[in-house]
Amino acid sequence: MPSIVLNKKVFEELIGKKLPLEELQDRISMLGTDLDRVEGNEIHVEVFPNRPDMLSEQGFARAFSAFIGSKTGLREYKLKDSKEKVIIDKSVIDVRPFTACAIVKNINFNDEKIREIIQIQEKLHITYCRNRKKAAIGVYPMEKIKCPITFFAEDPKKVKFQPLECDKEMTGLQILSQHPTGRDYAHLLEEQKKFPFFKDANGQILSMPPVINSHVTGKITEKTKEVFIECSGFDFNTQLVCLNIIVTALADMGGEICSMELEYPDTKKVTPDLSPRKIKFDLDYCNKLLGLDLRMHEAAKLFERMGLSLEKDDVLIPRYRADILHQMDLVEDVAIAYGYENFEHQIPKVATIGEIAPIEQFKSKISRILVGLGMLETNTYHLISKDAHNVRMNNEMDVIELENPVNVEYDILRGWMIPSMLGVLKDNKHNEYPQNIFEIGTIFKHSTKTETLVEENERLGVCLCSKNVTFTKIKQVFDCLMNAINLEYEIKEVEHGSFISGRTARVSVKGKDVAYIGEIHPQVLENWDLDVPCAAFELNVTEIFKFF
């Protein structure tokens, strides 16, 4: 979990009261965060990754003041039109296609406020932005910028500017090899033929996201009164949430939020968007899970203590809350506001003896075998994009789509493991080869046999990735595994769009098809931007477990 340091004096001013140390420690812990320690004027807190809006004094105080009943309900922020524009050039489509931008005026920066904005930017980069892979944040002094601003992509050898904390100009390519920050984040751009840049109307380079700002136009000082903020990345909603978190924090510092028009090649958008989202609240579902008997007006009071609002049966959620995606998230907020310490302890009416489920023991055995073969275990999400799952895999599979996906990166439940594993290999191209990985995870398929119409199965995916990978090598791993669990199998050649023709096989045990094995097709590797050969197999663990 990310750890932040809160200025105790600033924090108390924001919540509007000074709490005794013991009560402060107790309430912070009950909010769903982990208090590390309080030292003098510093409060050290660990914030769970699902609450990036709490990674600053302002965001934490906003949530805390509602929780203790000091400033409850949905926080409203006024938004003015800056009448300024950001032009998104079509050249960024294949590089870093989205940005969300804003201007915040009338801020009186001092050393403390600069520290606070640097901290929230760094913590967001590490957590919500996934070390700048999903999003990158830039904050700039407006007095040095002339609008309109342009977001474009260009050959990095042709663009020169003075990077932050550097005394000379460098090309974009030189920054990746010569500047310390450039070396740290070089892997995010090194495969690109063009790099993304922001420039103003005078042609001054503001930054090269996701790496570094310009020293001339990208450094905040105590003289700064207005700032331009941009978040860039691969999903517009992610950039918007990230921007909302930052501008609301700056507004709580006394700033005035001003929107900007974003001129995309085919559309126009206005950011930030601070209008609340709505999710229907199921009171019966909440009471059933928590063992309570709340009325709607009681639930409304609890939501107000979490900074939310209830209108009839709609929960209004502020746009800076990235964690509320499902009915269960609303139930969690009700539980936190109600107070875990207030739930009555109940002894279950059944007597059972806890033990590890047999299939879990079987999965652990498989993991130990593969670790013994020198492989690394991965752990990926159940959600994936339809494009990654089918199009990039050169394979058409019936999938379970989400009704209201938050973004296009996670819009379906996966139907097999190998796409998720190729995603891991793509994200680790900067690491040395060979990369031999495996994962035992859950896949989802349509079924008329279950109440939810969805069937879950456990699958094992194994990928070998190196210059000399062949069908023989992946089959050796498969043979070793099947021998270790004492299971005989039959194998026959088949065709599959994700694998090379003539180097693909279907495996069956006692007449039941249980696995695919083969060399990944070159087109699939190209789709995943992988330059190294890969061979893989996927084994249905749920099915083979039935034979034991």
Give me the CATH number covering residue 51. 3.30.56.10
532 vs 521: CA distance, rounded Å: 11
Is the Cα torsion angle 363, 364, 367, 368 positive or negative in sign? negative
Q: Residue 72 domain-assigned?
A: no
- Residues 144-153: pLDDT tens digits? 999 999 999 9
Q: Residue 350 domain-assigned?
A: no
Mark whether 510 and 390 lie in a shared domain. yes
Mark whether 309 and 384 lie in a shared domain. no
> Residue 87: exposed, middle, or buried by beta-carbon count in 10 A (0-12, 13-18, 19+)?
middle
Residue 534 structure tokens: 């890969």
> Residue 373: exposed, middle, or buried by beta-carbon count in 10 A (0-12, 13-18, 19+)?
middle
**Amino acid at position 161, single letter:** F
- Residues 214-250: pLDDT tens digits? 999 988 999 999 999 999 999 999 999 999 999 999 9
Q: Residue 75 domain-assigned?
A: no
Mark whether 434 and 532 lie in a shared domain. yes
- Residues 107-155: pLDDT tens digits? 999 999 999 999 999 999 999 998 999 999 999 999 999 999 999 999 9
Q: Which residues pair with 139 in a beta bridge?
A: 229
**Of 44, 67, 90, which residue constitutes the final position of a domain?**
67
Lowest mean pLDDT: which of 26-30, 339-343, 363-367, 465-469? 26-30
Residue 115 structure tokens: 């520290």
- CA neighbours closer than 13 Å in the CB half-sphere of residue 353: 0
- The three-class DSSP label of residue 496 is coil
What are the Cα distances from residue 467, in Å, to 376, 526, 530, 531? 18, 15, 12, 9
pLDDT for the residue numbered 399:
92
Q: What CATH number corresponds to the domain at position 531?
A: 3.30.930.10
Q: What are phi and psi of 79, to 5 degrees?
A: -130, 125
Q: In which domain, by residue range, is 188 found? A: 80-271
Lowest mean pLDDT: which of 207-211, 381-385, 448-452, 540-544? 448-452
Which H/E stretch holds residue 383?
Answer: strand 383-384
- Check pLDDT > 90 for residue 1: no
Is 415:443 a contact under the CB 8 Å cutoff? yes
Mark whether 375 and 400 lie in a shared domain. yes
Mark whether 322 and 447 lie in a shared domain. no
Residue spans of beta strands (DSSP E) within 135-271: 135-141, 149-154, 160-161, 170-171, 195-199, 205-208, 212-213, 227-233, 256-263, 268-271
**2: nearest Cα among 94, 175, 121, 101:** 121
pLDDT for the residue numbered 498:
96
Q: Residue 73 domain-assigned?
A: no
**Of 234, 256, 271, which residue constitutes the final position of a domain?**
271
Q: Please, what is the average pLDDT of the chain?
A: 93
Q: What burial letters (b/e) apply to 253-274, b meaning 16+ CB within 10 Å?
A: bebbbbbbbbbbeeeebebbbb
**Of 244, 271, 298, which residue constitutes the final position of a domain?**
271
Residue entry with tokens 């895999």: 393
Is 77:248 a contact under the CB 8 Å cutoff? yes
Q: Which residues pair with 442 in a beta bridge?
A: 458
Residue entry with tokens 């031999």: 436
**101: nearest Cα among 217, 232, 275, 4:** 232
* Size (the chain), residues: 548
Long-range contact list for 38-45, CB < 8 A, 24+ apart? 38/8, 40/8, 41/7, 41/8, 41/9, 42/5, 42/6, 42/7, 42/8, 43/5, 43/6, 43/7, 43/8, 43/11, 44/3, 44/4, 44/5, 44/6, 45/3, 45/4, 45/6
pLDDT for the residue numbered 202:
95
Mark whether 117 and 185 lie in a shared domain. yes
Q: Residue 334 domain-assigned?
A: yes
16 vs 11: CA distance, rounded Å: 9
pLDDT for the residue numbered 524:
96
469 vs 377: CA distance, rounded Å: 19
Mark whether 260 and 396 lie in a shared domain. no
Q: What CATH number corresponds to the domain at position 182?
A: 3.50.40.10
Per-residue confidence band for 449, with pLDDT thresholds at 50, 70 and 90: confident
Q: Total domain count for the chain?
A: 4
Residue 69 structure tokens: 């009943």
- Check pLDDT > 80 for residue 2: no
546 vs 77: CA distance, rounded Å: 58
- The three-class DSSP label of residue 279 is strand
Mark whether 134 and 160 lie in a shared domain. yes
Predicted structure pTM score: 0.73
Q: Residue 352 domain-assigned?
A: no
Is 141:226 a contact under the CB 8 Å cutoff? yes
Mark whether 219 and 301 lie in a shared domain. no
Residues 6+ apart with CB under 8 A from 536: 418, 421, 461, 462, 463, 464, 474, 517, 518, 520
Residues 6+ apart with CB under 8 A from 506: 491, 492, 493, 494, 513, 515, 516
Q: Residue 30 domain-assigned?
A: yes
228 vs 145: CA distance, rounded Å: 9
Mark whether 34 and 181 lie in a shared domain. no
Mark whether 169 and 198 lie in a shared domain. yes
What are the Cα distances from residue 10, in Å, to 108, 324, 357, 439, 522? 15, 28, 50, 46, 57
Q: Residue 53 domain-assigned?
A: yes
- CA neighbours closer than 13 Å in the CB half-sphere of residue 137: 28
Q: Could you give the dihedral angle defined by the CA atoms of residues 428, 433, 438 and 441, in that order, rounded to the nearest 10 degrees? A: 10
Mark whether 51 and 86 lie in a shared domain. no
195 vs 152: CA distance, rounded Å: 8
Is 25:4 a contact under the CB 8 Å cutoff? no
pLDDT for the residue numbered 46:
86
- Residues 348-399: pLDDT tens digits? 777 778 889 999 999 999 999 999 999 999 999 999 999 999 999 999 999 9
Long-range contact list for 482-485, CB < 8 A, 24+ apart? 484/369, 485/365, 485/366, 485/369, 485/544
